[in-house]
Structure 1
Amino acid sequence: MKRRHLPALAAAALIGPALAVPATARPSRPGPDDFANVLDLHGVPTAAKPPDDNNPISVFADRGAWHAYALPTASDTDELGGFTGPLYIAQEYPWWLSRAFTRLRVTDAATGEALNLGDDAKPTVDAYPGRLVQSFDVDGVRISLELRYASNRTAFVRAMLTNRGGKTRDLTVSWTGTLLRHDEEPIKSAPSLHRTDTGVAVGFAEVREIWDYFSSTETRFEVRHADPVNTTVDGDAYVTTLDETVRLRPGSRRSLTWTETYTFTSAERDTESATVAKVLDHPGRYAERADNRWRDYISRALDEVTADRRPLAVKSVQTLVTNWRSPAGRLKSDGITPSISYIWFTGGLWSWDSWKHAVGVARFDPKLARSVVESMFDHQRADGMIPDCVFYNNIADGGGNWNERNTKPPLAAWAVWQVYQHDRDRDFLRRMYPKLVAYHEWWYAARDHDGNGIAEYGATVDPGNDTDEAVIEAAAWESGMDNAPRFDVDKGVSVLRNEDDGELVGYSINQESVDLNAYLYQEKRILADIAEALHRPGDADTLNRDAKRIRGYVREHMYTDGFFYDADIDTKTPVHRGKGIEGAIPLWTGVASKTQAASVRDALMDPDMFRTKVPLPTASRDNPDFSPTEYWRGPVWLDQAYFAIGGLHRYGFHAQARQLTDELITNADGMVSDQPIHENYNPLTGERLNAPNFSWSAAAILLLVRGE
């Protein structure tokens, strides 16, 4: 990969001699400095609202912040010296505050002429894991900037002016920025500029535009400078000027530091003010902490990863960290959102997404992984159910995205056990075990229509589930495979009422799903392992006995002609609606017999079935309803690909598993370049589909490149 960054010593000079590390002391293992621009974070918005539903500019955030940044390209001369954005999350939806809200401007005090950063023919404008960097050599002055995050509400920039000429220079320093406004009210008038004694702030009006924009009068974005400054505001534009003229003798330099803080409430702002003060007093200390944390991330994530796959692993880590959101609104714990780049996935947490995110994050930050798991259990209902998704606003607050019409597939115990393997936090197991058991037992109380210990997907008793069509929709959502052919109403799917002593407790559809029961089998086995670790042998014996019965049932009633399918609840025979990737889940969980696993392997390796250009589509190529671009009817979802490949490994088919992994990574567009990891991929062409910078795809890729 061609790099566009400063030589090591020059980069060290930017952050000062106290943080410069001698070459002999640098670790031999790869670190953040070895991975410039593994993800393209360059671009400048043209409007406040990202076009369509997907933001075409990938961004960087850290520490769970709700505002993010990108970099201008070398040709974006009007924005050089500033960081693109920020992109701020209006509680649930992403919006651009500016093209570059805080652009550094340096002027020769003697001549009054600005140093034009665009005059540098070879500027540095690079993204590293954990920081964004710019550097310019103009008229004998080097101007360098680095942006990092100090907390979940504050980013900070350290700039350095260095006189590389032979005469003393007097420089005037200022910062400029202009708001981007929407073209429609009330959003158009939501933000407003205000001068402060230490910089500039953006206040917001009370706006409650469901599906579009939320803000309150307490919401605030504020830039605060370490040095005395004076600000003037003119409509949507401002200029902040450093009080003193900077005098630089030949070879000398001057550092400048400022913070950029985005908060939702006055209480947050009051709490954050102490952090901001510390950052401004000790920016080097906070830069060192950020760099050390990212060095640890990279070191942990790259364990066992071959050199050729390391950039992809780092890109996966960056994707997961940028989608990290800290507590805000109704979200009580740090969690990972599906994608900051997709309007509907920015401000909320999904349950089975979170389980997969936690497993990926555990490889480099087990503490965060624990919180990602618990972020959904914060909302566990009294009956044990975990909602499908939760957002900054619930329904009572006027939010539209919060969904308790259904849950998602049971992978929570898997996530907890995986996190435990990486940190051995027994208190975490003790805390989670009763919650996991309650969730597990809920499936049989609310989703086992005939009481045979085999569950069905379904729906909750909810005002939104007021028709059979709505219940079937919720059941399909509950599977996570929203529009998969096996949930088509015209193929005989119908609704069953689940009652307890005459009281309606939920709905099931009329098929026992193979993936659901394979997941529940695995959950029982893992819960048994947790019970053993917590010295509860009686629980473990019961769970293992029940798991064995499920395994026998799936083998007998959900397998035919070399593949696994859902079973009709009445006839207990496989439902023939074409092959789907759910038929590989019994391999991943260990439900399949060796003979059954070999037959499924043959289907996965057949070019007329699942071995497409990008292998492992969600519907087999010979499925009558196969469509390469239609969400769950053909596109390759990387979580399901990971499960299928893991299943092959489990049964000893290692050569085939490695072959499919190589083909997936090589043939999925942009995977091994600097393009974002997407929600899914066209199995026939490799085209990237749907949401970019998608978290569970990143988690799955990280596991695959680690050989797990």
Structure 2
Amino acid sequence: MRRSLRALAGLTLGSTLVLTAVPVPPAMALPGPDGYADVLDLHGVPAKALPAEVNEINVFADRGAWHAYALPRPGDEDACGGFSGPLYIAQEYPWWLSKAFSRIRLREDGRDIDLGAARDPRFTALPGMLRQTYELPGLRLTLELRFASGRTALVRAHVTNTGHRPRTLQVGWTGSLLRPDKEPMKDAPSLHATAHGVAVGFARVRETWDYLTDGTERFEIAHDGPVRTTVTGDSYRTDLARPLTVAPRRPSELTWTETYTFTAAERAREAPVVGNLLRRPGAAIRSTDERWRRYVSAVTRGVPAERRRLAVKALETLVTNWRGKAGRLGHDGITPSISYKWFTGGLWAWDTWKQAVGVAGFDPALAESQIRSMFDHQVAPDSPTRPQDAGMIPDVLFYNDPARGGGNWNERNSKPPLAAWAVWEVYRRSGDVRFLREMYPKLVAYHDWWYRNRDHDGDGLAEYGATVDPSNDGPEARRLAAAWESGMDNAPRFDAALGTATVDNRDAAGRLVGYSLNQESVDLNSYLAAEKGYLAAIAKRLGHRKASERLTVQARTLTATIQQKMYDPATGFFYDTDLASGRRLTDRGRGIEGAVPLWAGVATRSQAAAVRGKLTDPNEFATHVPFPTVSKSSPYFAPEKYWRGPVWLDQAYFSLKGLQRYGYGGDATALADRLRGSAAGLLGNGPIMENYNPLTGAPLNSTNFSWSAALLLALD
């Protein structure tokens, strides 16, 4: 059953689910597309096939496609008449195929019409579409690119005769490959003429850290009318078989598709899709435009006018990072960033939980798919290699697993347990009880794994740790995997120099089942307390009364333990504790993880008040961009060192929601406004970043980062 009412909000930890209806405001008048033009700068033409590790050109994709495009700028002669790219993903890594692979050329009376001489050409990114307009003597040329499926971009050219006499034009398209500089990648692409246009085939290349193809991939252009194509080396020319005559004051349309597939089976499935698009492009265009109007309406509903462009930018970021089912990825998911080499072709667990919460606000079905993409690879009890990890969710999944030469797939560790939160938040938007029923036993198995494999002393407080895995072959490797499991890889609290190490975890029969850090982490246990509350709510909704009551009692018990053992009254903050002695690790400085108890609702009122004091203190966490991952007062504070000071928007989200939960809404509003206004580019047309310098607001690390975008949406 699906409910149209967004309801079932107000979960209180360890307690009862309060069923409060969330009123849906009246539908906003949908703005015209130009109202959100260029919320993100998508202009640029690549110079080389291999992007920088962080691609300097922002791109657009949709529907889970594995290829993407940008816009040229006026004066970009190498791309005039075409869209920059495409950027294609060689299973896991991004490469540019061309500066602009399909450039339309117009001729009249045997002479080229110079598009570069157009009056005031416009190159515009709109929600769900890229558009170019060229004003020429007596002619207007408009190009629009949309994604009509998860493998195919649909391009339409409108040639409008603005004069008073018929015009007869010869129409053609040209393009050239950008070859990689080095072998074996250099010889991977090959150009071929086809009956309907042109295609690029790819040779088999298995370069684990740079380029992965199976020799079955293809990028192909197909036109809606008869064409002739000639190929010369790395360049081609396609011409319409007959001249195009355009009546006075009338437009004429030309349509083509640009399809990127990995396998012959994908191509066979896509062939009728392409045929239908070429026959009836209008239906696909209307459907795409209506979907994007719904998306924009959803993310801007109730958002102050000055923040709506940021909301649309967050939406576009998430949709561009959407990758469709392919390879070992069994469901559509959202990668951290198409713009960063190492984040392009894979799905991370806690990224997925956070992204699903943001995506649920505009596409609950996609949010559900993301969650399924991770649970597809939940370790089963009958696993031949790691039965002791039954229920575990791996850290990272990619197009290739290790058996296929994938180096990025990671089962050395898991990631923080936020899956039940994500499932519940998606359900709040969708009302899809079937999804709850599907996910509940899987969530319970994952929750139980934490206590079976990550509670070294059985005291109910869990530790981050590492799996029994060939890669975890020594003390330092295991410590590193455990730090990765926290998601805060290099945070000071995990420094080996400060005494962090791992201990063995064994089952009742003495068999090794994993490793734990020698500290119990406050964020982990707060997340687990929250998960118990969400699982109790799901169980109650499904009619599992006894299970709901049992989880509620467990949540209350864990809440009391966190309050008693992990809060330090002398400093007014929460800390990790030493596994052996129970000592609070205050000497490692304050980290933003100490605010997670507020988000989870496990702090007492007086404890929350003390933490609020730190979160609003400019010498602690209320920096220029608020919520650094390490307090400004800490001896380990380093504003540009990943988890040792930069501001991550997920931790800012948890802090802001925690302040709101305990009644400090004014503080939360002021700090959220400061964050949005001080983080470079957020309110302009710059990309949404992985993190930011807390002292200057300077952008850091990956551009177009998904969980930042998702939780910006979830804040509104």
The TM-score normalised by the length of structure 1 is: 0.95
User: Which of 573, 590, 596 is the matching residue for 1:585?
Assistant: 596
Residues of 1 paired with 2:104 and 2:676: CA distance?
40
Specify the alignment match of 1:597 in structure 2. Answer: 608
Distance, in Å, in 2 between the alignment partners of 1:34 and 1:292 is 15
By how many angstroms is 1:504 displaced? 0.4
Q: Which of 583, 608, 620 is residue 573 of structure 1 equivalent to? A: 583
Note if 1:690 corresponds to 2:701. Answer: yes
Q: Is residue 557 of structure 2 the alignment partner of residue 556 of structure 1?
A: no
Q: Is the 8 Å Cα contact of residues 71 and 84 (structure 2) preserved in structure 1?
A: yes
Distance 2:482 2:119 in 1: 57
Give the 5 Å matches for 1:91-240. Answer: 91-108=91-108, 110=109, 112-240=110-238
Report if aligned partners of 2:44, 2:57 keep a CA contact under 8 Å in 1. yes
- Report the secondary structure of 2:60's partner residue: coil
Q: Distance in 2 between matches of 1:212 and 1:663?
A: 39
Q: Check conservation: 1:327, 1:333, Cα contact below 8 A.
A: yes
What is the rounded CA distance, in whole Å, between the counterparts of 1:30 and 1:660 in structure 2?
29
Shift of 1:618: 0.2
Opposite residue 80 of structure 1, the aligned amino acid is: C
| 1:249 positional shift | 2.6
**Within-5 A mapping of 1:129-528:** 129-382=127-380, 383-500=390-507, 501-528=509-536
Asked if structure 2 preserves the Cα contact closer than 8 Å seen for 1:32 and 1:298, the reply is no
Q: Which amino acid in 2 is paired with 1:67? A: H
Give, in whole Å, the separation in 2 of the partners of 1:326 and 1:606.
Answer: 44
- 1:276-321 Cα deviation digits (max 9, x unpaired): 0000000010000000000011111112111110000000000000
User: 1:333 is matched by which residue type in structure 2?
Assistant: H
Post-superposition Cα deviations, 1:58-94, rounded to whole Å, max 9, x if no partner, equal 0000000000000001121331210000000000000
In structure 2, the CA distance between the partners of 1:31 and 1:517, relative to structure 1 (3 Å rule), is farther
**2:383 paired residue number:** none
Q: 1:627, 1:336 → 2: CA distance?
A: 30
SS in 2 for 1:262: strand
Alpha-carbon contact 1:123-1:135 (below 8 Å) kept: yes
Q: Is the 8 A contact 1:194 1:200 kept in 2?
A: yes
Could you list the per-position Cα deviations for residues 576-627 of structure 1 after superposition, in whole angstroms to 9, with x for gaps in the alignment?
2100000000000001000000110110111111111100000000111100
- Report the Cα offset of residue 31 of structure 1: 5.0
Question: Once the 2 structures are TM-superposed, how far is the Cα of residue 29 of structure 1 from its aligned partner?
Answer: 3.1
Q: Does 1:540 align with 2:548?
A: yes
- 1:89 maps to 89
Query: CA–CA distance in 1 between the matches of 2:497 and 2:266?
Result: 52
Aligned residues of 1:31 and 1:298 also touching (Cα < 8 A): no
How many residues are treated as equivalent by the alignment? 677
Aligned to 1:15: none
Cα separation, 2, equivalents of 1:423 and 1:30 = 25
Higher relative contact order (CA 8 A, sep 6+): 2
**Larger deviation: 669-678 or 26-35?**
26-35
Partners of 1:177 and 1:198 lie apart in 2 by 15
Measured in 2, the distance between the counterparts of 1:48 and 1:113 equals 32
- Check conservation: 1:135, 1:142, Cα contact below 8 A: yes
2:54 aligns to what? 54
Deviations 1:536-563 (A, max 9, x none): 0100111011111111111111111200
Shift of 1:27: 7.5
Question: For residues 4-41 of structure 1, what are the alpha-carbon distances to aligned partners after superposition, in whole Å with 9 as ceiling and x for unaligned?
Answer: xxxxxxxxxxxxxxxxxxxxxx9723354420000110
SS at match of 1:456: coil
SS of the residue 2:643 aligns to: coil
Q: State the alpha-carbon separation in 2 of the partners of residues 31 and 484 from structure 1.
A: 45
Alignment TM-score, normalising by the size of structure 2: 0.94
Distance 2:444 2:576 in 1: 25
Measure how far apart 1:168 and its partner are: 2.0
Report the residue type matching 1:444 in the other structure: Y
Q: Is 1:702–2:702 an aligned residue pair?
A: no
Quick check: 2:78–2:99 contact (8 Å CA) kept in 1? Answer: no
For residues 686 and 174 of structure 2, the distance between their equivalents in structure 1, rounded to whole angstroms, comes to: 31
In the TM superposition, what whole-angstrom CA distance separates every residue of 1:109-129 from its partner, at most 9, and x where no partner exists? x2x221111112311210001
- Contact 1:384-1:438 within 8 A present in 2 as well: yes
Which secondary structure does the structure 1 equivalent of 2:112 belong to? Answer: coil
- State the partner residue of 1:37: 38
Determine the structure 1 residue equivalent to 2:76.
Answer: 76
Residue 158 of structure 1: CA displacement? Answer: 0.7
- Structure 1 residue 165: deviation in Å? 1.5
**Per-residue Cα deviation, 1:155-174 (whole angstroms, up to 9, x for no partner):** 01011111112222111000
Other-structure match for 2:385: none
Structure 1: give runs of 5+ residues left out of the alignment.
1-25
Q: Distance in 1 between matches of 2:437 and 2:203?
A: 45
- Give 1:21's aligned residue: none
Displacement, 1:246?
A: 1.0
Asked if the contact 2:119–2:136 (Cα under 8 Å) also holds between the matched residues in 1, the reply is no
What code does the residue aligned with 1:610 have? F
Tell me the SS of whatever aligns to 1:125: strand
Alignment partner, residue 653 of structure 2: 642
Q: Deviating runs (4+, > 6 A) in structure 1?
A: none
The answer (yes or no) to whether the contact 1:336–1:372 under 8 Å persists in 2 is yes
Query: How far apart in 1 are the matches of 2:337 and 2:599?
Result: 26
Letter matched to residue 34 of structure 1:
G
Residue 122 of structure 1: SS of its match in structure 2? strand
Give the Å deviation of 1:654.
0.6
Please state whether the residue corresponding to 1:157 is helix, strand or coil: strand
Distance 1:524 1:674 in 2: 40
Q: In structure 1, how many angstroms separate the alpha carbons of the residues matched to 2:215 and 2:493?
A: 48
Indicate the residue corresponding to 1:610 in structure 2: 621
Cα distance, 1:634 vs structure 2: 0.1
Distance 2:701 2:89 in 1: 20
Distance in structure 2 (CA, Å) of the matches to 1:33 and 1:155: 21
Tell me, what secondary structure is at the counterpart of 1:123?
A: strand
- Partners of 2:257 and 2:478 in 1: how far apart? 49
Q: 2: distance between equivalents of 1:101 and 1:537?
A: 60
The alpha carbon displacement at 1:572 in A equals 1.5
2: CA distance, partners of 1:645 / 1:116: 54
Q: CA RMSD in A?
A: 0.9
8 Å Cα contact 1:31/1:299 also seen in 2: no
Matched residue type, 2:185: I
Structure 2 CA distance, aligned partners of 1:321 and 1:474? 30
Which segments of 5 or more consecutive residues in structure 2 lack a partner in the other structure?
Answer: 1-26, 381-389
User: Any conservation in 2 of the 1:115–1:139 contact (CA below 8 Å)?
Assistant: no
CA distance in 1, matches of 2:248, 2:434: 58
> For residue 98 of structure 1, what is the amino acid of its counterpart?
S
Q: Verify: 1:664 aligned to 2:672, yes or no.
A: no
